[in-house]
Structure 1
Amino acid sequence: MPWVLSSQMEHLSSSPSQRECERTAFSFYCAVREQLPVWLLEDMRCMEVFCWEDGQPRAFLPSEALLYALVHDHQDYARYLLNRYSVSTLRAPRCSFCCCRNNGAPHLSVAVRYDRVTILSMMMEALKDCDIQSEWRHYLDSCGGCSHVADSGKTALQLAVELSRPDCLLLLLVHGAQPDGLDLALQRLVSCDPTERRHAQRCLDFLLLFLPKPLALNCLQEEPQRWQSLLGTEVFSWLCGLSPPPLLLQSLRCLARSGPDQINALPSFLQRSSNLHFYSFF
């Protein structure tokens, strides 16, 4: 693959057949990058492109093709793969470096890292084809990648908070991901670059909308004045368990959970006016 290091490539290219697989795989990568038509990409994947596994060549899987489509934002190809192969497209492919098959959600992690909101939305719709609801909820909360991958041990939601990807975060939350990144969102808000603060604030706002109950966070108790200033008195008091959730928060929570597009449908005058910090994402 094109991101293989030269030292790894030297190890991998041990036979003419293996080198030919690498050549065709790179050609496929370039074809997706150039946004070639879907029919041509599928012809290549099924008949011309091969990868090396267990000492022999095999065709690229739809799940591997979807990773390429995510990286290069080829929305038409991603739509075709998800419509044609449904949830099987989201199965974790075998790692080409350590030859293990993880049970995580690498497609979700890649979608969040590259901020592919449109394709992530397609993936969320495809997950609805799962026969058992608990399966796709478990998938949403799975960690992506093997131990040597940068995003290993992180859920897609945690990665969205870490990278300040509010649109991706909202999609994950609406479709059932656990809102377990509040502590990370608070730390991100105070440590991020000023140019990213608005996105970090939106991530925090969305988590608050889906948080079922306030959490006992040490940082709030250690620096109450600082966090009260950042969060506002009502939200701070609620998170500390000193008061019920603000009425506006409860109203917006119902609206947000009905779909990611519902909040943006609010009248513009309502989007511009509020004295609550968690309403700043409008």
Structure 2
Amino acid sequence: MPWLVSSQLDCVSSSPSQRECERTAFSFYCAVREQLPAWLLEDMRGMEVFCWEDGRPRAFLPSEALLYALVHNHQDYARYLLDRYSLAVLKAPRCSFCCCRGSGAPHLKMAVRYDRVAVLAMMLAAVKDGDPHGEYLDDGGGCAHVADAGKTAVQLAVELSRPDCLLLLLAHGAAPDGLDAALQRLASCEASERRQAQRCLDALLLFLPGTTPPSSPLPRRLLDEPPRWRRLLGDEVFRWLCGLAPPPLLLQALRCLARAGPDRISSLPAFLRPHGWH
């Protein structure tokens, strides 16, 4: 059938079993989208839903179900999966494009991309005791063809201006990477996006080390355009990031609150919050 495009040829040439797997997976996707009860979704996943892999059907994994729950913000189902399977549900599924073993932290990145703050908080609570060295939180792996490959969840949160997700990740021990990207985004974003970009920068500043590393190119970049960066950052923060002064006292006090819980800063009076929280 030369008039069919390649994707249609693939569909036509697939076996009845493969087409049945695709049908059950799509039905499950729709059921999660419709926010059906968690127990019913688990019954479907355990008995009716299959994927096609290596030429044969296989059961739909809990980690794949969690990705569906993230996309559709099905918080009850996400909670059920995390309570029942704990860290096992955060294991990266095998890639369906190149058939390599899953790697990285796709669930964290998916939560950031879709701004699923509540589900991200559930996942980070599950990770807290099982990832003492932050290896999962700071994992930037993933297949090369995936859009977020090579980025950590923190870097993605900065890139997409997801301040609530970013603060959650940092408060749970993720490395405060992406300061340069946060500065550039603040300087170049539209006025309508500036508040979110400012909040991301403020969150990173709360978790940075006390001094800027001497090898960092950041001070030189800031000193190339002092008026611009003083206007965006304020004089105290500008001098600190350039290595000319210690961190502002208010910032040091806010750090203690931020580490105690990401919701503490929002409960402060407006004049005590960082600029982006106003």
- If the length of structure 1 is used for normalisation, what is the TM-score? 0.91
SS of aligned partner of 2:73: coil
Deviation beyond 2 Å, 4+ runs, structure 1: 6-13, 213-216
- For 2:232, the aligned partner's letter is L
Q: Distance in 2 between matches of 1:74 and 1:206?
A: 27
Residue 31 of structure 2 corresponds to 31
Deviation, 1:7, is 4.1
Q: Identity over aligned residues, as a percent? A: 72
Name the count of aligned residue pairs.
Answer: 268
Could you tell me how far 1:8 is from its partner in structure 2? 4.3
Q: Any idea what SS the aligned residue of 1:189 has?
A: helix
Aligned mate of 2:179, from 178, 182, 204: 182
- The yes-or-no answer on 1:151 pairing with 2:157 is no
How far, CA to CA, are the matches of 2:42 and 2:51 in structure 1?
15
CA distance in 2 between counterparts of 1:9 and 1:150 reads 24
Contact 1:157 1:172 (C-alpha < 8 Å) held by counterparts: yes
* Pairing 1:59–2:63 present: no
Instruction: Tell me how far 1:224 sits from its aligned partner.
Output: 1.4
RMSD after superposition: 1.6
Distance 1:108 1:171 in 2: 11
3-state SS of 2:258 partner: helix
Query: Structure 1 residue 226: deviation in Å?
Result: 0.8
Q: How far apart are the structure 2 equivalents of 1:15 and 1:37?
A: 32
Instruction: Tell me if the contact between 2:21 and 2:52 (Cα under 8 Å) persists in the aligned partners.
Output: yes
Query: Any unmatched runs of 5+ in structure 1?
Result: 1-5
What is the aligned partner in structure 1 of residue 222 from structure 2? 220
- Give 1:192's aligned residue: 189
Per-residue deviation at 1:11?
2.6
Q: Say if 2:128 and 2:172, in contact at 8 Å, map to a contact too.
A: no
Superposed CA offset, 1:156-205 (max 9, x none): 10000000000000000001111011000000101112111100000000
Q: What is the distance in 2 between the residues matched to 1:10 and 1:209?
A: 54
- Determine if contact 1:144/1:156 at 8 Å carries over to the other structure: no
Q: Which moved more, 1:181-190 or 1:141-150?
A: 141-150
Q: 2:169 aligns with which of 169, 172, 175?
A: 172
Counterpart of 2:112?
Answer: 112
Gaps of 5+ in 2: none
How far apart, in 2, do the equivalents of 1:176 and 1:140 lie?
Answer: 8
